[in-house]
Amino acid sequence: MPGMPESRPYHHGDLRSALLAGAERTLREKGAGALSLRELAREAGVSHAAPGRHFKDKQALLDALALTGYDRLGQALADTDDPALPLQRRLTALARAYLAFALGNPELLELMYARKHHPGASEQMAAAVDRTVGSLERVLADAQRRGEIIAGDPHHLTLMTGAALQGVASFAATGMLAPEAALDGIEDLVHLLLHGLKPR
């Protein structure tokens, strides 16, 4: 499955990565409520106290897991983005990269958004959000400066764009839309976002 960390035995010196990979597997299979540092330690074959060297508690583990998700999403967007493309093609490529991540990592994405809004969210989390959501907002703000899209608060436009993308991802996750159809429909969705439904 895309984005799924490899299952591999723990190697000395890489306990943090092993715990995060185990946590992501548990998140996918059983949900965030099933995450337990003690259980992850057992799976990794280390003492129940060993994870404490990397994560002071479950909340720290959830934050670290969310940050790895933001890192992967940020990399996917950066690898896809091409400022030389015309706006519609550029947004379509970015939207497709986001949707592919969302379809491959629905539980992780839900956790990422939950931790983003957690009252104790760190500066590190804010920076991770800026590398992902912020990158789309900057693309839209640049398009506004060039007169390619309407004026207004770029944050609001980003929120509406994200809501449309997340709606498609949600439809795919609940079986209302096949994942392939969701990805294939991104070009139409971006066209509708840019031009609206009104006949031209």
Domains of the chain, by residue range, sit at 1-56, 58-195
Helix (H, G, I), strand (E, B) or coil at 180: helix
Q: If one looks up domain 1-56 in CATH, what number appears?
A: 1.10.10
Evaluate the CA torsion angle 121, 161, 110, 4 in order and state its sign. negative
Instruction: Report, as ranges of residue numbers, the positions in the chain whose pLDDT lies below 50.
Output: 1-2, 4-11
What is the pLDDT, as a whole number, of residue 6?
Answer: 46
What is the pLDDT, as a whole number, of residue 188?
Answer: 96
What is the pLDDT, as a whole number, of residue 3?
Answer: 52
What is the pLDDT, as a whole number, of residue 7?
Answer: 44
Calculate the CA dihedral of residues 45, 49, 53, 55 and round it to 10 degrees.
90
- Fold topology of 58-195: Tetracycline Repressor; domain 2 (1.10.357)
